[in-house]
Each structure stands twice: as C-alpha cells, then as structure tokens.
Structure 1
Amino acid sequence: MNDLYSAYGLDYTDPDCDFLNINLDEDTPLFVDAYAMYRSSNTHMQSGHEILRNFMTATLLGLKKYLEDPTIINNLWISKCFSEPKGTGIGLAKNGHKGRGSHDVKCQQIITALRHSKAVETGELEDLEELLLVIEGIGSDTISDITLNIAKKSFIEYTQEKCSKLNITVKPTEEKIRYFCKIDNKWKSGHFDLPHLEVGKDKTLSYLIFIPNEVLEKNMAYGCNYFYTNIATPVYVDQVLRAGLSFIYSLKDGSKRVNKREMRKKDEYKGGKKKMDSFISKNPKSLKEYRKTVADKRYKRNQDNKKQNNDDSE
C-alpha cells in the first residue's frame, strides 16, 4: 500500500504515531466521530469539540431569530465552507481522494430541516452529533465532513504538533483553508504550514491533515437506529403494556411481554428520523439518557476494538 507512514519512514509502534496511516491512493472508509472528540483527552480534540458546540449554539440562536434575521444562520451554514474536506484520506470517495466537491454538504436543506425539527423547537438538541438522530440526509459521511470543516483548525494544529515531534517537513499551503473561529464565531480562512504528498490515482500534490485514530470510527456512537432500539422502544413497550394492546402476550409465570415485531408495524411505534425527532420533543430527557448510556457504551466498545486490533498487529 502507498501510505503516509512509508512515505515518511514512520514506525507505527512509536507512541506519537497515533494518527491514521493515510492510504495515499484512495480514501479509507472511516469517519470522524464528534462524540469521540468529546471523550478524547487530547487538547486539540477537546478544543475542536468546543468549537463544534459553539457552532451549534450559534446555529440554535440563528434558528430562533430566523424570521427576524435569516442572515444569522445563513452566515453559519455557508455552502463553500462545507466542501469535501481535503487531505484527510477518509470517507467514501471511490477511485481516489475526497476534495473534488462532488458531495458537498447541502446547507440550505439542513437549515430547512432544522427549522422544521420539533426537537430543535423544544430546545432539546445541543450537540452536532445529535443531528444524526433527527435530520434526514445526514449520515456518517456527511456529519464527519461537517465536523472536520467546522473544527478544521484544531486538526491542523494537531497535525503541526505531530510534524514537529516526528520531524516531518511542512510548507505553506498554496490555497487558503477555511475554518470556524471559536473566538469570533464566524468563518475565516488562512494559509497553514502542513505536510504535502502526492495523493489519488492522478498523483496530485496535496496538503495533508492528520486525524487521531481515537476519533475515527466505522460505526459512530450516535445513530438513529441505536436511539430507536435502546431509548424509544422501551418507552413504547411501556406504553403498549399500560394500554393493554392486542400484541401483548403472557409468559407461563403470568408476566406480560410485547411482541415488538407486531408493535413496530403500528405507525405510532415505528422508527426513522422524523419519528425520533417527535419522540425527543416529547421525551426531553431521552437525549441525555442516550448520551450517558448508549453512546458511552458504543464509544467504549469502539475504543476496546481498536486497542484489540493494535495488540493483534504487534
């Protein structure tokens, strides 16, 4: 494999080599998990998650004032600021690397979806990763791109620190790189000193941005199906039992159970992002419960799996 570590003669057993070994020919199907950034002890990742929260706070404020002044949120969700992140080597691009803009984030669609979200209206959403639960069209690849674009400066600073420690040559980027400034709460751009290598099938010289392995996932901690199964379904089961509906059955000991397969055929108990959006608005504690239980469990499992894979490779 034509990869980053080989190009720079890096040793994967070096504790400082805790970032993705970028495949220089094509993207690796991994995604940046904002919740993993929140759990990280790395100062750059902590700073990055703080930027994400600042952005979401500004977004929610913009939504409240949308009818009065739509420019507030439009100046946050600017399409050109959410182009496919370049130089990270992650995502679902086929036959090469991301950064060509073929799957740029559709900002106006997101704004429209947020404006009609019941969970947003009731003030329950707080974190960027929660958009995965309620906004149609936002999956792992899209939320990863959004996360990288907003917190890009934190990833750049992480990269610069690693290059300094590992004696990797850097040079100023020819193009300006956009990032969200947590101080001024607005988009800015600038040139940055970053490593450069040829990437993709066409061997185009590109700057590189390193991503810590600990925040990269195949399956993120947040997901609509996980929320539905672990948080919404127990509530629905309780409602069905109290209502005494037809798909309840009894065990030999007399205890009652619910046929979940039959229950889920009923429209009011079905899953999906629109349904979960409504559920969250009616169950205000459900997001915090998911974060403390399901997201925590999934995060720990993901980290354990990565540790196991590292142990197996040694």
Structure 2
Amino acid sequence: MTNISSFYRLGIQQPELQFVDIKLDQDNLLFFDPRLIEYLQTPLTKKMQKHLEVFWGEVIKSVKLKSYEKSNYLLSGLGEPNETRLGYSLDRPYGNSVGNKLIKKIFDTIYNNLAVRTGVLSHFADIELFFEDISSDRISDMTTKIVKSVLIDYTQEQCRLHNIPMEKCIQKDIFDYENVKWITKKVELPIYNGKPILFTPKAIVRLEGAAGKNVSCFYRFAIRQFVSHDRNMLKDVSSTGKDGKILIRDVQAKYPVSKESLANWSVHHYGKLLVDYKTDHLQGRLRPLSDMEIMEIVYDSNHSQTG
C-alpha cells in the first residue's frame, strides 16, 4: 500500500502531517465537508468559503433569472475529481463531468425548492439538508471542484515544505471566483503514475455517510424543537401517550423524515429552524476528524477498493 508519506519517503505519518496521507493506488473513503469549511474560520477555510459563496450565489441567481445557459455553464464545471483520491474517484472515468441529466436535476431542484426560492437556503453547506440525491460523495465532489484553485496553492505550499517534487501539468475546470469563470491553467503539482495529485487539508474531511447523519440530526431537532410545539401541525397526529399525550414518536409517525418536509418546515418557521439548528445544536458539536480516525481509513486497505 502506497501513501504520500511512503512514496515520497517523508519519514513521518498522519499525526505529523497537515494533509490527508492518502493511499495513492486506492480510493480513500473520506469526503470534503463544506460544513467544516464554513465553521473553522481559518485563513485557508476562509478562502475556500469565499469560492463556495460566490459560486452558489451565482448559481442561484442564474436559476432564478431562468438563465439556462449561465446555470448550465456553472454546473458543467463540476466534474468528478480524481486528483484528491477521496471518495470513489478511482472507480470513475478520469475527468468525468456531471452528466446532463444531473445538471437538469440540480437546476430543477434549485428552481423548485422552496428553501432556495425564499432565501432560507443561502449557504452551500446546507444543500445536503434539502436536496435529494446529494450524499457525502456528491457534495464532496462539488466542493472539491469549486475550491480547486485553493487546493492547488495549498498542495504547492505543502510540497515546498516537505521537499516533494512537482511537475508542470494542465489543470482544467478551475473556478475563478473573481470573474465567475471556469479556466484552464498550467500549474505545478506532484505526479504519481502520470497523474497529478491534490493534497487535502485533514481538518476538513469527514467519514462516509456523514451527510445522511446530518439530515437525520436536523430532522430530530426539527421534530423536537419546532414541529412538536406547532399546534396546527399536531391537529392530525394520533396520540399513543398516557391520557392522550402526544409523544415524539407519534409526531415522527405522522411526519417521517423527508428533505422536502425539512425545506417546508424551515420556510414555515421563517428560517429560524435552520438558524437555531446551526447555532444552538451544531455549535460545539462540529469537529475535525482525529488523526486516529483518518489513519483507520488511509492505512487500512479494507477501507477502500483497488482502482
């Protein structure tokens, strides 16, 4: 098994590295977490967040204006990245872009989603709570492509720090947030088996399935803190508690988890539901993975498939 540290003979492993010590010949089941990018507020994550804010703002604006050409252009740059080796990248054709069907689906979701149309969903990191078919893998891919220019700079910085050789290569679909364009540039990056590598800061990755857990967590918060106190929503709930008391399980039975429901509830409560969830519930619970958690993925061949 070949990791960055072993291939370049760094003499150190994950705890001493700031980037993920990925397996170079296999997938690494770790995923970019835009929520951590938004939360950490370091100089590096602030740069990334700026790219995400500009991109997402322009996509929403183009969809609301029914500017199909502009929205298609922006979404077409979200190719599935292979350079980070995160997720399932090695199982895919190199540079495979988001297909036309998915572009249309994302466009339709943005256009029809109540949370987007009312301004409740204004942060890129929140789309996993309201958009169907947006899993840890998909949002990780999208995030990677939007912040690619920051990753290139970061990788070059880490290579200079650890004396890792780089070669000139062409990189396509780099988001230029100042001009809102996808550009192609010749840059210097480390190369392995003829393909470039982008390093990923270890503080902004999460485990597989985290997006689904976030949805479940948001749903439970919504049920307990809002829905169960909304008299109008409780009118048709069948109670199973003593003396006709409505229990949490009764509310959940009436309102099963649904991203559409989460969007509707957030709008119904004027955005307070989402704001309270992020400030009162998530604050203090968000944390980067530990070195040990990352090591269980990148140093264990059972956590990936050979590409």
> Which category describes the TM-score, using the shorter chain as reference length?
0.7 to 0.9
**Structure 1 stretches lacking a partner, 5+ long:** 199-204
Q: Give the distance between the partners of 1:206 and 1:170, measured in 2 at CA.
A: 11
Give the partner amino acid of 2:46.
Q
> Does residue 100 of structure 2 align to residue 100 of structure 1?
no
Q: Give the distance between the partners of 1:114 and 1:262, measured in 2 at CA.
A: 32
User: Does the 8 Å contact 1:225/1:272 carry over to 2?
Assistant: no
Q: Give the distance between the partners of 1:24 and 1:307, measured in 2 at CA.
A: 18
Q: Give the distance between the partners of 2:30 and 2:120, measured in 1 at CA.
A: 28
Q: Give the distance between the partners of 2:3 and 2:227, measured in 1 at CA.
A: 49
Which structure has more relative contact order (CA 8 Å, sep 6+)? It is 2
**Structure 2 stretches lacking a partner, 5+ long:** 300-307
Q: Give the distance between the partners of 2:128 and 2:267, measured in 1 at CA.
A: 15
Alignment of 1:1-314 (within 5 A): 1-12=1-12, 17-66=17-66, 69-78=67-76, 81-93=77-89, 96=90, 98=92, 100=94, 104=98, 106-173=102-169, 175-198=170-193, 205-218=194-207, 220=210, 223-239=214-230, 243=235, 245-247=237-239, 249-250=241-242, 258-266=246-254, 269-283=255-269, 284-300=271-287, 303=288, 306=290, 309=293
Q: Give the distance between the partners of 1:14 and 1:142, measured in 2 at CA.
A: 25
Cα deviation for residue 38 of structure 1 reads 2.0
Q: Give the distance between the partners of 2:125 and 2:228, measured in 1 at CA.
A: 27
Per the alignment, do residues 265 and 101 of structure 1 end up closer, same or farther by CA in structure 2, a change over 3 Å counting? farther
Q: Give the distance between the partners of 2:94 and 2:14, measured in 1 at CA.
A: 33
User: Does the 8 Å contact 2:129/2:259 carry over to 1?
Assistant: yes
Cα deviation for residue 307 of structure 1 reads 5.4
**Cα RMSD over matched residues?**
2.8
Q: Give the distance between the partners of 2:15 and 2:41, measured in 1 at CA.
A: 15
User: Does the 8 Å contact 1:47/1:154 carry over to 2?
Assistant: yes
Give the partner amino acid of 2:120.
E
Cα deviation for residue 13 of structure 1 reads 5.7
Q: Which has the higher helix share?
A: 2
User: Does the 8 Å contact 1:91/1:98 carry over to 2?
Assistant: no
Identity %: 23
Q: Secondary structure at the match of 1:258?
A: coil
User: Does the 8 Å contact 2:14/2:295 carry over to 1?
Assistant: no
Q: Secondary structure at the match of 2:253?
A: coil
Q: Secondary structure at the match of 1:76?
A: helix
